[in-house]
Amino acid sequence: MDGNRRWAEKKNLPGIVGHHAGVKSVDLITEACARAGVKALTLYTFSTENWKRPKEEVDLLLNLLRQNLRDKAEKLCANNIIFNVIGRIEEFPPKLKEEIEKAIETTSKNTGMVLTLALNYGGRREILDAVVKVCARSREEGFDISSLKEEDFAEYLYTGALPDPDLIIRTSGEKRLSNFLLWQAAYSEIYVTDTLWPDFNEKELEKAFNEYSERSRRFGK
């Protein structure tokens, strides 16, 4: 969800205003995807690299996330949306972890779209963590690593039972994966738009869906 800070800069506003505007786009796009019948929506919210930003900005981002989790859980329930998180949330402050766990519990009985926030997430770290789990199982159970299949390895990833993404949307003109779902994105279609995330609305989402629907997915066949 790129472009929050650039959106604010273009309007001569503080960066945090752009992040607040980005939250509104999250709400809009989440509900639009649920109405469209999307089964799983994953939003890259806070990466492992984001810790390198100025501490003041990181603190503002984490506080913004905590406040919105507190306010949005009931709304997710009203829309029958399941809340999910991938990433190393154990490294977050206790109060934020508490809000994450509350939102997961509050929406656990819903049956609609799965909304996943990638928090303190990095694709390379995810793969390494999965390798560590496989090795631990090998030591404890005498598991033969040479017999491991791709579909078996995928179960050790943060995403677990989530499907691989059909479509990855990059806003603000970025043309890279930026360490996002590196294993899962092997055959994902990628859609790039110059639109900044706070301006990405339902009309922009429809453009992405329409272009995706015209592509032929052969998966190497």
Task: Verify whether residue 71 is a known catalytic residue.
Answer: no
Task: Verify whether residue 50 is a known catalytic residue.
Answer: yes
Cβ burial 90-108 (10 Å sphere, 16+ → b, else e): eebeeebbebbeebbebbe
Q: How far apart are CA 77 and CA 115, in angstroms?
A: 12
Q: How far apart are CA 51 and CA 55, in angstroms?
A: 8
Write down the catalytic residue from 2, 4, 84, 120. 2
Q: What are phi and psi of 71, to 5 degrees?
A: -85, -25
Write down the catalytic residue from 4, 12, 27, 50. 50
Question: How many helical (H) and strand (E) elements, i.e. helices and strands, does the chain have?
Answer: 7, 5
**Catalytic site positions:** 2, 50
